[in-house]
Amino acid sequence: MKIKIIIGVLILFIGTKILIKNEKEVINLLGSYIKYNNLKELEKASDLIVIGEPLDEFEKRNHKATYFKDGTQEDIYTITKLKVYEVLVTKENDVKNGEVIEIIEPITLKDNKIITTSDYYALEKEKYVIFLAKNTYGEYSIINMNEGKFKYNNKYKNSDKNSLKYQVYEKYINSN
């Protein structure tokens, strides 16, 4: 019995060490952004709403960090190639179904560390409903941080009916 417990603890320790070794350190930067609490506000602020999926895993995307002349960090972001399955709303008609577009996510990978803004987590390699707006450089960026992207599944069907997640689910996921 004592040997089984020691072996179990040893396996648990080794397994934990492997998990820690493979995890990347996350640095969270404070950021300011406009938060939208309901679907109507989020839609109004969006230039483009799509159902799409990143083509690459996070580690293989185009990660950027810019610095001021004195060496302090100015900006971090990732350029993500997104396969657009369906354009749900567009203000400029510059994106079509089936296209691959580049979008900006407020997160990057540098020196094997994830640097993110306001606890944003990167899109995984699966389908989402994504709310985008053009930034000052004319590039599409996800708005509303983590509540500007919603996994395209039934995950939100049991959410609070007043929540943004449920509103997105009902309008864009459940109806398709």
Q: Enumerate domains of the chain plus CATH numbers.
A: 29-173 (2.40.50)
Pairing of strands 128-134, 140-142: antiparallel
Q: Which residue has the tokens 């709403």?
A: 49
Provide the pLDDT for residue 22.
Answer: 53
Alpha-carbon distance of 51 to 85, in angstroms, equals: 6
Contact 159, 166 (CB under 8 A): yes
Angle at 86 between CA 85 and CA 87, to 5 degrees: 135
pLDDT tens-digit readout, 8-28: 333 333 333 333 335 889 999
pLDDT digits (tens, 9 = 90+) for 111-152: 999 999 999 999 999 999 999 999 999 999 999 999 999 999
How far, CA to CA in Å, does 159 sit from each of 47, 119, 150? 26, 21, 13
User: Distance between CA 19 and CA 24 in Å, rounded?
Assistant: 10
Residue 5's Cα: distance from chain center in Å? 41
pLDDT at 3 over 80: no
Would you say 133 and 125 are in contact if contact means Cβ atoms under 8 Å apart?
no
Residue 74 pLDDT grade (very low, low, confident, very high; cuts 50, 70, 90)? confident
pTM, two decimal places: 0.84
Centre a 10 Å sphere on the Cβ of residue 159 and count the other Cβ atoms it contains: 15
